[in-house]
Amino acid sequence: MMNNPWRNIAFAALIGFSAIQAVSAHAAETYRVQDGLQAQFHIFFDPQKYRAWTEGKGRLDEATAVPAKLADVPFLVMVAVGDCKAGANGKCNVTADYTVFGPGGEKIVDNPGRRIWTKAAKPKGRIVAFSEDPVSAMLQSSDPPGSYRFHVVLHDNNADTTLEMERVLMLEARQ
């Protein structure tokens, strides 16, 4: 089993992260608001640059830059939220359904019900909470080349709000 450099980083982000700042055009492209719920959809490709960014020593656009060669590069898919509605217990209940569609439009991954934020609601007005349950992934060199569509349906279960986001990654042809 390959040592996953994302495992410790994801836990560090959950423990020590306090706010996300939209610092690039990429961040703006992945930002959505629906019925008050705010969200950003990120794919992180470089564990060291991601760690530097969470420590305030790097930039978001560096941590999310798509590598020239995508095959066999592990990455971490995360959603960050803000302004989720607190339930009677004072906690949010935001979950996500992750789906990946292959180059032919076929569904190749269906991963529903991942926890995004089920802790206490944060102050209103900005995105402040990372996924509690991020998704590690990789497109392999043995996968068919073409466009892979990463689709996320975010649910604020306390507010009965749904928000959809999508990213497309292009897997290069085998050499």
The whole-angstrom separation of Cα 174 and Cα 160 is: 44
pLDDT of residue 160: 96
* DSSP summary character for residue 60: H
pLDDT of residue 131: 81
125-154 burial, b at 16+ Cβ within 10 Å, e below that, comes to eebbbbbbbbbebebebebeeeebbbbbeb
pLDDT of residue 29: 54
Pair of tokens at residue 112: 């529903």
Query: 102-107 long-range CB contacts below 8 Å, 24 or more apart?
Result: 102/143, 102/144, 102/146, 102/148, 103/144, 103/145, 103/146, 103/147, 103/148, 103/171, 104/144, 104/146
Q: Whole-model pTM above 0.85?
A: no
pLDDT of residue 132: 83
Identify whether the C-beta of residue 26 lies closer than 8 Å to the C-beta of residue 61. Answer: yes
Q: What is the CATH number of domain 6-171?
A: 2.60.40.3880
Give the residue extent of every domain in the chain.
6-171
Amino acid at 84: C
pLDDT of residue 125: 76
* DSSP summary character for residue 120: B
Local confidence pLDDT in tens for the 175 residues of the chain: 344 444 433 333 333 333 333 333 344 457 888 898 999 888 888 888 877 877 878 777 777 888 888 899 998 888 889 899 999 999 999 999 999 999 999 999 999 999 999 999 887 877 777 788 888 899 999 999 999 999 999 999 999 999 999 999 999 887 7
Q: Which residues contact 77 (CB under 8 A, 6 or more apart)?
A: 41, 42, 43, 98, 134, 135, 136, 137, 150, 152
The whole-angstrom separation of Cα 143 and Cα 155 is: 30
